[in-house]
């Protein structure tokens, strides 16, 4: 609550105006007996304090007006120690009240016989007049209170706008900058005064800004750059007109730093699928070699080309490379080049500006490369990318910039590219189905993932792993595979690789009712393939022995421990196994 003391100078001026008009003395006190105003005529000395025993004190205590016809008639005056130095002849004293609370009192004092007669004769009118003066003072109190509240609200709003992550610029109806929050001026290292009074057109001269100011047309999520001095602010910009009582009162612009946009993208870009190399199931020497290569290049910025049949886990390796690199806290963005129609692929990759083609969304759209800023973009099935887009992709890789469809602005990129394919790109280059220069740019670090049939010992590990996974997902408690089922699965060629194996285990766990998976719950296509493999074929003893050794190594693995187990299963010593492996050139 505002006190009279807060508007002391103003109250003094009111007192002086009353005194000048009526030719009488005026003294005003607040409710705490502080002298607020005094025209200094009724007392020979300076009034320094107001006592509660004074007439003013009585009025403040009771909240009731008092008329003093003379010092000799008023109890407070009779008892006053300073009455001999007081020139008071008569007085009207009224309370200053607001919301049923007394804020102080105002006293009109006659100091001559002539003014005493005027005061007493016109007491009714003067009381009314003094009440109006009290209301005037209350009005000033209310103004000050409103001004204080407005300042509080303003400070709160400034604090709120400075505490949010977005840059904010407010404009008046002509486009003049009224306010800039700390995000803007901190980024450019300019203080707020630098921006105040400038026209927004001096900083951003764009058609959508003109429409916002001149036509009150809002816009949202337009990617732009503000360049001041040596610094450039890359942001996602939105603008809305402000109206008060249906009349335009300016506009507000909000800027989202593109680095913050990329961070949001990162949080929603399937970060729950982040994996380590240890998460890739398998300990065969073939897989271990691939893991070692991938670990070695994880922190490199060079492009990686992952080659392998469908279902071998190319995306898993791509994710492991990203999430074990120094880019792991930034986005991992995937795009399957074979899954998106050719007409849409370019806009998905590179983005587009508003109005660049029929159906383009308002505000345009960022492409995968921009969304991956600071992180990794994974281009799966790169062999299916149309030739005309290969040219544009090559330029992005060479120049490390991207241009949206419908834009001539180059956006700098900090993105690592990992591509993957199950096609023979070198053959496609020879057949002119894939650009040779792009192939060499992509295959700086080629990684070949072996098919499951060549991963000795991994099938058993994968069967057990996926059985545990689907037991948990489906609420089952299947302990394993019956021996004949496991033997057949271990000997199967797995043309669909790990994806096919996972599919079979999921099907079997869904179908099986007992503790062990039976052959009847293996998909029919697999059993048919197995039966075809069982057709009688006459072959040599050496071929049978070589196949037995090879199959044992496939089951138990090609490492040291796997060879010991394989020898035991074959009924031969470890030294014999090594000798026969050398004989049959089994590596």
Cα gap 294→309, rounded to integer Å: 18
Cα gap 397→403, rounded to integer Å: 12
Tell me if 402 is assigned to some domain.
yes
Residue 163 pLDDT greater than 60, yes or no: yes
| 344: CATH | 3.40.50.300
| 31: CATH | 3.30.450.40
Same domain? For 490 and 558 the reply is no
Give the per-residue pLDDT at 536: 43
pLDDT in tens, 104-113: 999 999 988 8
Tell me if 154 is assigned to some domain.
no
Give me the mean pLDDT over the 509-515 stretch: 94
| 501: CATH | 1.10.8.60
Tell me if 157 is assigned to some domain.
no
* Own/partner pairs, 13-21, CB within 8 angstroms, 24+ separation: 14/133, 14/136, 14/137, 14/140, 15/39, 15/106, 18/108, 18/133
Give me the mean pLDDT over the 490-510 stretch: 93
Give the per-residue pLDDT at 321: 95
Nearest of 172, 184, 153, 174 to residue 242 by alpha carbon = 172
Instruction: Identify the domain containing residue 443 by its residue range.
Output: 269-448
Same domain? For 283 and 398 the reply is yes
pLDDT in tens, 241-277: 988 777 878 899 888 877 676 666 666 554 556 788 9
Same domain? For 118 and 64 the reply is yes
Tell me if 488 is assigned to some domain.
yes
Please report, for residues 309, 313, 508, the alpha-carbon distance to residue 494 in angstroms, rounded to integers and kept in the order given.
Answer: 11, 14, 16
| Structure-block tokens of residue 516 | 């062990």
Same domain? For 101 and 18 the reply is yes
Domain count, the chain: 5
Residue 230 pLDDT greater than 80, yes or no: no
Helix locations, 281-381, DSSP H? 285-297, 314-323, 342-350, 368-371
Residue 305 pLDDT greater than 90, yes or no: yes
Q: Which of 205, 237, 263 is the last residue of a domain?
A: 263
Same domain? For 324 and 466 the reply is no
- Pairwise pLDDT comparison (451 vs 72), residue with the higher score: 451
pLDDT in tens, 541-584: 777 888 888 888 888 888 888 888 888 888 888 888 888 888 88
| 207-231 burial code (b ≥16 CB/10 A, e <16) | ebbeebbeeeeebebbbbebebeee
Same domain? For 504 and 566 the reply is no
Q: Which of 263, 279, 304 is the last residue of a domain?
A: 263
Q: Which of 113, 145, 177 is the last residue of a domain?
A: 145
* Structural contact between residues 141 and 98, judged by C-beta atoms closer than 8 angstroms: yes
Same domain? For 257 and 291 the reply is no
* Structural contact between residues 439 and 481, judged by C-beta atoms closer than 8 angstroms: no
Same domain? For 499 and 579 the reply is no
pTM for the full model? 0.59
Same domain? For 63 and 170 the reply is no
Q: Which residues pair with 177 in a beta bridge?
A: 171
Same domain? For 259 and 281 the reply is no
Same domain? For 364 and 319 the reply is yes
Tell me if 26 is assigned to some domain.
yes
| Residue 500 CA to its chain's centroid (Å) | 39
Cα gap 266→263, rounded to integer Å: 5
- Pairwise pLDDT comparison (201 vs 504), residue with the higher score: 504
Place of tokens 């020879």: 430
Tell me if 200 is assigned to some domain.
yes
Same domain? For 373 and 517 the reply is no
* SS (HEC) of 226-272: EEECCEEEEEEEEEEEEEECCEEEEEEEEEEEHHHHHHHHHHHCCHH
Cα gap 435→426, rounded to integer Å: 10
Give the per-residue pLDDT at 535: 45
Residue 278: burial class (beta carbons within 10 Å; 0-12, 13-18, 19+): exposed
| 172: CATH | 3.30.450.20
Give the per-residue pLDDT at 74: 77
Give me the mean pLDDT over the 409-420 stretch: 91
pLDDT in tens, 150-161: 888 877 877 777
Tell me if 305 is assigned to some domain.
yes
Tell me if 369 is assigned to some domain.
yes
């Amino acid at each position: 609550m505002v006190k009279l003391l807060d508007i002391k100078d103003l109250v003094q001026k009111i007192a002086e105006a009353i005194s000048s008009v009526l030719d009488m003395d005026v003294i005003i006190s607040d409710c705490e007996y502080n002298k607020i105003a005094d025209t200094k005529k009724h007392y020979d000395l300076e009034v320094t304090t107001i006592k509660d025993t004074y007439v003013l004190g009585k009025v403040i205590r009771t909240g009731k007006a008092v008329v003093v016809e003379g010092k000799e008639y008023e109890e407070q005056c009779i008892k006053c120690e300073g009455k001999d130095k007081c020139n008071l002849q008569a007085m009207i004293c009224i309370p200053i009240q607001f919301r049923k609370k007394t804020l102080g009192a105002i006293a009109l004092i006659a100091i001559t016989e002539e003014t005493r007669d005027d005061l007493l004769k016109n007491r009714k009118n003067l009381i009314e007049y003094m009440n109006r003066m009290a209301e005037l003072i209350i009005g000033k109190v209310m103004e000050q209170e409103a001004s204080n509240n407005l300042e509080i609200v303003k400070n709160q709003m400034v604090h709120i706008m400075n505490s949010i992550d977005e840059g904010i610029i407010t404009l008046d109806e002509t486009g003049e900058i009224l306010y800039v929050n700390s995000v803007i001026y901190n980024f450019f290292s300019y203080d707020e005064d630098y921006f105040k009074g400038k026209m927004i057109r001096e900083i951003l001269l764009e058609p959508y800004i003109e429409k916002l100011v001149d036509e009150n047309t809002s816009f949202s999520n337009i990617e732009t750059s503000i360049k001041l001095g040596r610094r450039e602010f890359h942001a996602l910009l939105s603008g809305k007109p402000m109206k008060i009582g249906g009349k335009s009162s300016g506009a507000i612009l909000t800027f989202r730093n593109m680095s913050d946009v990329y961070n949001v993208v990162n949080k929603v870009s399937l970060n729950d699928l982040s994996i380590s190399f240890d998460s890739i199931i398998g300990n065969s020497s073939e897989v271990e070699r691939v893991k070692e290569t991938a670990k070695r290049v994880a922190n490199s910025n060079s492009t990686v080309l992952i080659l392998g049949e469908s279902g071998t886990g190319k995306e898993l390796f791509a994710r492991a490379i990203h999430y074990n690199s120094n880019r792991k806290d930034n986005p991992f963005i995937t795009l399957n080049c074979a899954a998106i129609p050719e007409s849409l692929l370019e806009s998905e990759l590179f983005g587009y500006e508003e109005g660049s083609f029929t159906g383009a969304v308002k505000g345009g759209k960022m492409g995968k490369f921009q969304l991956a800023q600071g992180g990794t973009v994974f281009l799966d099935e790169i062999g299916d990318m149309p030739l005309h887009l290969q040219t544009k992709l090559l330029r992005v890789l060479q120049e490390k910039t991207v241009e949206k469809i419908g834009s001539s602005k180059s956006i700098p990129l900090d993105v690592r590219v990992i591509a993957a394919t199950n096609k023979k790109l070198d053959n496609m280059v020879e057949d002119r189905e894939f650009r040779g220069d792009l192939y060499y740019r992509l295959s700086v670090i080629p990684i070949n993932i072996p098919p499951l049939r060549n991963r000795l010992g991994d099938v058993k590990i994968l069967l057990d792993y996926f059985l545990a996974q689907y037991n948990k997902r489906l609420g089952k408690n299947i302990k394993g595979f019956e021996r004949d089922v496991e033997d057949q699965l271990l000997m199967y060629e797995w043309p669909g690789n790990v994806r096919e194996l996972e599919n079979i285990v999921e099907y079997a766990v869904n179908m099986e009712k007992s503790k062990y998976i039976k052959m009847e719950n293996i998909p029919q296509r697999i059993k048919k393939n197995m039966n075809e493999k069982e057709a009688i074929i006459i072959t040599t003893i050496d071929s049978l022995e070589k196949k037995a050794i090879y199959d044992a190594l496939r089951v138990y693995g090609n490492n040291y421990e796997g060879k010991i187990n394989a020898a035991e299963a074959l009924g031969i010593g470890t030294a014999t196994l090594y000798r026969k492996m050398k004989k049959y050139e089994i590596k």
